[in-house]
Chain A
Amino acid sequence: MEIPYVTEPRKDTGLYNAKVGIWLFLASEVMLFGGFFSAYILLRVGSVEGTWPTELLNVPIGTFNTLVLIISSVTVVLAWSALKLKQFGRYKFFQAITIICALIFVCVKSYEYRDKFTHYDVILNDGTRVDGHLVEKTDEYITLSHPLSYPAEKGIAYRPIAIELRDNPPADAETAGHDGDAAAAHPAEEGADEHATTSDSHGDGHGHDLTIQMADVKKMTNWGPWANTYFAIYFTMTALHALHVIGGALVIAYLWGPGAKMWKTDPERYTNRIEISGLFWHFVDLVWIFLFPVLYLL
């Protein structure tokens, strides 16, 4: 039995059935992501003043991934247009770029995740907060590269100021006491933390490796979703989005590879399949267009 309205539109909806289906599905997706955006707003606005972390993500990398998704979105519509013009080779070319872009996006996202999972935040017994990339961790000590130190009571939102003070110390920093912000940004270098040892393995001024004894550690966590509310919502939203990227890429890759046989038997239906998968892909791009400024820039 032939399935009706696979290519020709129904009279009542004016659309072929798959198109009604994908729009209903996308409507449910809007509600799903809407719920998470709503949760984000609640957490962001409800956070205590000065406690919401900023500048923890790499903006150039996020911008690069945004551009990658935009390129993939345009290649999807160009691929669909090529099919409409019966240019199958051209379609294959553009859709191959889409799949490559999806792979690049996922790889870059994985790199970002790895960077966060290997970044440790350590609060010492003396009230100093140190964060840096993990070099080595044993039961006795933890070694961090590019450490940044500041008073724990100032909270993680103070981090950008601590970086600024570390990179551009004020002129009177040399003579400042240990109560000053400049000193707070350099306790390891100035020997404020008697339990920490440093070694300048990079020679770039602030590229020390800092070793901290576990006995001096009050609390320690990496920058995973459990680190704080910001990372919880960041990982939840970006992981959900990344799953959509992977799912969409798998469908597009299937239609590009084994599924492309349909082009020979039923080209119109195949073109519609590309349009449907493309609509999903544009939705994934659309979500990222909002996720990027919300998570990386605000």
Chain B
Amino acid sequence: MSGHTPEEIHQEVRRYLWVFGLLIIGTIVTVAASYLDLPSFAWTVALALLIASVKGFFVAGYFMHLMDEKKMVYGILGSTVFFVIGLMFLTIWAMSDPPTNTIYP
């Protein structure tokens, strides 16, 4: 991260407190949203994951300083994201190809 002068650190601290407030609000909204009467369960899942992703963005971006990191870190995380997406796609593909003939006489 940048910001190493005392002024910049104080600025960072103010930002941390803002993010803290947003995370608290995000948690309350997550719980409140789960009680909403949405058209389908898919909407409930999408909304819950959207709020969780926003909260995750704030934690990773500001607390873990990913908003202002070196290319090396982005490279490591970029390759990780690639493989995680691949993993999730494997799950989706597996759903259309369920195991059959698993019971033998």
Contacts and interface: CB of A to CB of B under 8 A. Distances in A.
Interface in B9-41: 9, 12-13, 16-17, 19-20, 23-24, 27, 30-31, 34
A282 B64 contact: yes
Contacts of B16: 74, 77-78, 81
Contact of B76 (A23, A76, A81): A23
B34 A293 contact: yes
Interface residues of A, number: 45
Is the interface on chain B under 10, 10 to 19, 20 to 34, or 35 or more residues?
Answer: 35 or more
B95 A42 contact: yes
B31 A63 contact: yes
Contacts of A23: 72-73, 76-77
Contact of A84 (B4, B56, B60, B94): B4
A85 B56 CA distance: 27
B73 A15 contact: yes
Contacts of B87: 31, 34-35, 38
Contacts of A107: none
Contacts of A85: 6, 9
B52 A293 contact: yes
Interface string B30-68: 110010000000001100110110011001100110000
Contacts of A13: 70, 72
B31 A59 contact: yes
Interface string A260-298: 000000000000000000110011011001101110011
A20 interface: yes
A45 interface: yes
28 contacts: A13-B70, A15-B70, A19-B73, A23-B72, A27-B79, A27-B80, A31-B80, A31-B83, A34-B83, A34-B88, A41-B88, A67-B24, A70-B23, A70-B27, A73-B20, A81-B12, A81-B13, A278-B63, A282-B64, A285-B63, A286-B60, A286-B64, A289-B52, A290-B52, A293-B34, A293-B48, A297-B31, A298-B34
Interface of B: 4, 6, 9, 12-13, 16-17, 19-20, 23-24, 27, 30-31, 34, 44-45, 48-49, 51-52, 55-56, 59-60, 63-64, 70-73, 76-77, 79-80, 83-84, 87-88, 90-91, 94-95, 98
